[in-house]
Structure 1
Amino acid sequence: MTLMQMVPLLMKKENNNEDYEPKVVSFGPYHHEKENLKLVEDFKPTAVQMFVGSDMNEVVFISAISGEIENAKSCYPREVTRRYTDIQFAQMMFRDACVILNYFGPDNDVEHSWKKAETINHHLGIAVYRSIRRDMYLLENQIPFRILEILVALRYPNTPKGSFVTNMEQHSFKMFFNDKKGKIEHAEPNDGLGKNPAHLLEIFRRVIVTGPTHDPIFRDNDGCCNVNDMLSNLEKGVGKCCNDDEKNEDMHGLYVFRSITDLKSKGINSKASGIKSLKGVRFSPTRFCRSAELKLPFMYVDMYTRVFFNNMIAYEFSPNSHIIDKSVTGYISFMKLLVVTKEDVKEMRENKILINSLGSDDDVVQVYKDLNTFEAEDSSNFWKVKQSIEKHYHSKIRTWMAEFRTTYFNNPWTIIALLASLFLLCLDIVQTYYAIHPAPNNPGDA
C-alpha cells in the first residue's frame, strides 16, 4: 500500500491552514478523536449498520481488515499509528470506510441510495451531510483504497473484480462535471483509469485530468479562409521593420497577458471547450473571418473550490505522491493569469465557462487569488497554449485585425455603414474615371 501523504509544512504556513483541516468528519488517524468532529464520530456506528445491513456481522469485516492490518498501518507514519492497537486501528478503518461507502458506493439502487441520504440527513442535518464531501477532498483525511475494496468485496460478493474502481471513477466524474451518464471519454492510457488508486483523492484527480493535452492537428476544411501562413509572413516583415522579433525574444516565457478581458482587447475571445477535463484548454489562432479563440473547460466555483484545489496542489507537491505531470497545479497557474477582476469572471460566466455558486464575482476572483501554486514550473499541458497566446498578443498584424474587426464588424449598423461607405467610394471612383475618360460619341447619334 502507498503512504497516506501529509500536507507540506510550508503550504500550511503560507496558505489558510483551515483548508487542510476537516470540518465535520475524520477519515484515518491524522485527525481522529478531535473534539470538533464528535458529532459525526458518534454517528459512525449507525453508518456501519447502514452499510453492513441485517444479514451480515461486523466481525467478518473487521477480521478481513485485521488480516491486512500491517499493510494498512504502514500507510501512515509510525509516530501516528503507535497510539492504536491493531484492533483499534482496524475498527477505526472499518467505521471510516463505512461513512465513505454510504456516500460513494457500488450500490446502484437509486431508491436505496436516496434512503441512505435521508438517514444521514436525519441524524446530522443537511449542512453536515454536504460538509462530508468537503472533508473527503482533504489530503490528510484519506484511508487506503484497499480497505474500501475489501469491504465492498465482502458486502457485494457478486461485484466483478475491478468494477468498484470504475464505478467510483464514474461517480466522481458525474459529480465534478455534472455528467448524468458519468461516461469518461477520450481517456489516455497514462491517465491511470481503472488501476488501483492509493486513496479516494487520487480517484478525484484522475477524473478531472483525463484525456489528451492537445487535439490532433487537421487541415482546416471549414470553408473559411485560414490565413495563418499569410499572417506569419506579414508578421516577419512587420517584425523586421519594428524590431518586434527582438522584443518578443526578450519577453519569451514572461506571459505578459493578464486576464480574459485583456485577451479580448487583443482579439482573443473565450468560450467553453466542451472537454470535460482540466486538460481541455485549447487555442485556435486568428482566421480571416474569425477571431482567435481560447477554449476553456467548464468549471463550477462553489464554497469548496478553494479547499479542493489547495489539497490537490498539496497532493501534487507532496514528496511521496510520485506525480510527475502536475496538471492541476498547471491549470490553476493558468487560471490565475486569466481571472484577475470581476469583469473577467463576468466574461467567463456569459461564455458559459464558469458557473458562480458564490454569488459575487469578486468572491470568485478571491478564490483564485487564494490558491498558491508556489511559482511551480509551467506544466507541459499549458505551455503550448501560453506560447500561442503570447505570440498572438505581441503580433501587430493580428492586433490590427482584431481592432478592425471590432470597429467595423462588431454590430450590424457598423457593417452597414462600412458597406455603404465602400459603395459610395466605388461610385466616386467610377464617376472620376468617366470624368477623365469620357465615353466616345457614337456617330449614329448625330
Structure 2
Amino acid sequence: MPLMQMVPMLMKEENKEDYEPKVVSFGPYHHGNEKLKFVENFKPTAVQMFIGDMNEDVFIDAILREIENVKKCYLEEFTRRYTDIQFAHMMLRDACVILNYFGPKDIDKSYKAAETINNHLGIAVYNSIRRDMHLLENQIPFLILEMLVALRYNTPRHSFIKAMERDSFKMFFNGMIEHAEDKDDLGKNPAHLLEIFRRVIVTGPEHDPILRENEYGCCNVKDMLTRLENGCGKCCKDDENHEEWHGGQYVFRSVTDLKSKGIYSKASGIKSLKGVRFSPTRFCWSAELKLPFMYVDMYTRVFFKNMIAYEFSPNSLINNDKSVTSYVSFMKLLVVTEEDVKELRENKIIINCLGSDDDVVQVYKDLNTYEGGDTSYFWDVKEHIEHHYHSKIRTWMAEFRTTYFNNPWTIIALVASLFLLCLDIVQTYYSIHPPPN
C-alpha cells in the first residue's frame, strides 16, 4: 500500500475542491493539470533559487539512486506514466518550490526568496501555495526534502526535521516549541510534510489530573456539594437521565449552553489540540472548560478536511490515531451559533481571521468527521461536563449568579433589598420588644 494516499471518493463527493490544488501540484497525482500551468512554468526558476551555484545533476543523481523507493510511495497507475528521469525532475522541481517557501534559510535569504516568488507569481498565488501544501493528495516523500537539504547545506537529517517542526509550530501557534523533550512524537521520521504539520498540532499531554486535593481550599466544598446533590437527587430526581450520557451520548450543546449552566470557557495555554481541560472553580459553583488557542482563517476548513482524510487513510504511519478528528468532533459540539464564536473569541480561544462570526460557524459545519472520532479522547472532560450539566445545585447557583451578580445594577439592587430587609427585621424586633425608658 503506498504512503501517499488518495482521498476516499465518499469525502470528495461532498466538496471536491477542498482536496485539489488551486495553484501548484506536488507529486504525480495532479501533475499536468492545465489550471496549474502558471506555477509549473515557475518551477525551473525555483530549482535555481534553491541549488544556487551547484550543479543540478548532483541532485538528480541523488534522487535517481532512490527512485524505486520514491515511486513506490504512489499508486502505480500514476507513476508508470513517467520514466525514471522524468519522475526525478518532477520531484526536484516540486521539492524546490516547497523548500523556497518553507525551508531552512536565514532571514535575509528568506525575505529575498519570498520577494522573488512574489515578483514572479504575485501575492495571491504566493499565499495559495501554503494552502496547497495542506492537501493529502499533494505531497512528496519527506525523504526527498531531507536529501536535497543535506546536499545543499551539508546538514544532518535530524536537525532538518527539527527545523521544519519548529517552523510549523510557529505557523500554527505563533510561538516556539516549549518543552520539546516531553513531545515524544517529535523528531521521528515523517512520511511527508502533512505529517509534520499534524504531529506539531497534536503532540502534547493528553490528560492532566482533573482535580487535586488542595484545589478546594481549607473547607471541602466538594463534599458539601456532593451531599446536597445526593439529597436533591432523591427529591428532584436529578439523576433521572444519568444513564443516557454514560453510553457516550452527551446532552450538553454549545458554549453558550454550557455558560448558562455555570461552565465558562477559557484558554488552556496548551499549544496542542489535546490541550482540552475541565476544572471546577475554587468554590465549585461554576467550572472552567479550557480550550487550546486556534486561528480560524481561509485555510482552516481545507486543512482540517485533509487532516481528517489522512487519519482515515488505511496505511498511514499514525496507527489509526484520530486526534484531529476527535478534536473537530468536540468543537462541532461547542460551536453552533455566532454567540458561541463570540464567546470563544472574547476569551482569546479563537482568533477569527475570516471576518464575521457566522463564517467561523460555517467552517465547523462544513467539517464532516463521519462519526470517526475516537470516543476515548476528552472522555474525562466530557464526563465532568455532563456531571456538572446535570447537577441541580450547580445549575441553581449558576442561575443565581447570572441573575444577581452579572450586572452592577442588579448587585446594587440586591444589596439595597438586603439592607431594607435588615431594617424591617430590626424594626419588627423593637416593635415587639421595645427598649426600656
Q: Indicate the TM-score class for this superposition, using the shorter chain for normalisation.
A: over 0.9
Report the secondary structure of 1:381's partner residue. coil
In structure 2, the residue matched to 1:9 is 9
Q: What do residues 27-85 of structure 1 show as CA deviations (whole Å, max 9, x unaligned)? A: 0111111111101111000000000002x100001101111111111111212211111
Deviates more, 1:207-216 or 1:88-97: 207-216
Report the secondary structure of 1:270's partner residue. strand
In structure 2, the residue matched to 1:390 is 386
Task: Supply the distance in 2 between the matched residues of 1:219 and 1:389 (Cα, whole angstroms).
Answer: 19
Task: Give yes or no for the alignment of 1:272 onto 2:261.
Answer: no
Report the secondary structure of 1:220's partner residue. helix
Q: What do residues 311-355 of structure 1 show as CA deviations (whole Å, max 9, x unaligned)? A: 000000111114333111011101111111111111211111112
In structure 1, the residue matched to 2:20 is 21
Residue among 130, 141, 146 paired with 2:143: 146
1:8-407 paired onto structure 2 within 5 Å: 8-13=8-13, 15-54=14-53, 56-107=54-105, 109-157=106-154, 159-179=155-175, 182-185=176-179, 188-190=182-184, 192-216=185-209, 217-221=211-215, 227-252=221-246, 253-288=248-283, 291-323=286-318, 324-407=320-403
TM-score, scaled relative to structure 1: 0.92
Query: Offset at 1:425?
Result: 2.8
Which amino acid letter does the alignment assign opposite residue 313 of structure 1?
Answer: I
Task: Supply the distance in 1 between the matched residues of 2:181 and 2:201 (Cα, whole angstroms).
Answer: 11
Task: Supply the distance in 2 between the matched residues of 1:160 and 1:222 (Cα, whole angstroms).
Answer: 51
Query: Would you say the 8 A contact 1:225–1:287 is kept in 2?
Result: no
Query: Would you say the 8 A contact 1:186–1:210 is kept in 2?
Result: no
Q: What do residues 243-302 of structure 1 show as CA deviations (whole Å, max 9, x unaligned)? A: 232312134322122211111111111122222111111112254376311111111111
Task: Supply the distance in 1 between the matched residues of 2:183 and 2:345 (Cα, whole angstroms).
Answer: 33
Which amino acid letter does the alignment assign opposite residue 230 of structure 2?
Answer: K
Aligned residue pair count: 434
Query: Would you say the 8 A contact 2:216–2:282 is kept in 1?
Result: no
Task: Supply the distance in 1 between the matched residues of 2:75 and 2:2 (Cα, whole angstroms).
Answer: 12
Deviates more, 1:397-406 or 1:407-416: 407-416
Which amino acid letter does the alignment assign opposite residue 407 of structure 1?
Answer: T
Query: Offset at 1:433?
Result: 4.0
Task: Supply the distance in 1 between the matched residues of 2:271 and 2:75 (Cα, whole angstroms).
Answer: 36
Residue among 403, 418, 422 paired with 1:422: 418
Task: Supply the distance in 2 between the matched residues of 1:189 and 1:344 (Cα, whole angstroms).
Answer: 31
Q: Report % sequence identity.
A: 78
Which amino acid letter does the alignment assign opposite residue 236 of structure 1?
Answer: N
Which amino acid letter does the alignment assign opposite residue 112 of structure 1?
Answer: K
Query: Would you say the 8 A contact 2:265–2:290 is kept in 1?
Result: yes
Query: Would you say the 8 A contact 2:24–2:39 is kept in 1?
Result: yes
Task: Supply the distance in 2 between the matched residues of 1:311 and 1:224 (Cα, whole angstroms).
Answer: 50
Query: Offset at 1:360?
Result: 1.7
Task: Supply the distance in 2 between the matched residues of 1:117 and 1:249 (Cα, whole angstroms).
Answer: 57
Q: What do residues 338-395 of structure 1 show as CA deviations (whole Å, max 9, x unaligned)? A: 1111111112111111121111211111111110000124442322211111111111
Unpaired segments of 5 or more residues in structure 1? Answer: none
Which amino acid letter does the alignment assign opposite residue 411 of structure 1?
Answer: N
Report the secondary structure of 2:269's partner residue. coil
Report the secondary structure of 2:148's partner residue. helix
Query: Would you say the 8 A contact 1:62–1:91 is kept in 2?
Result: yes
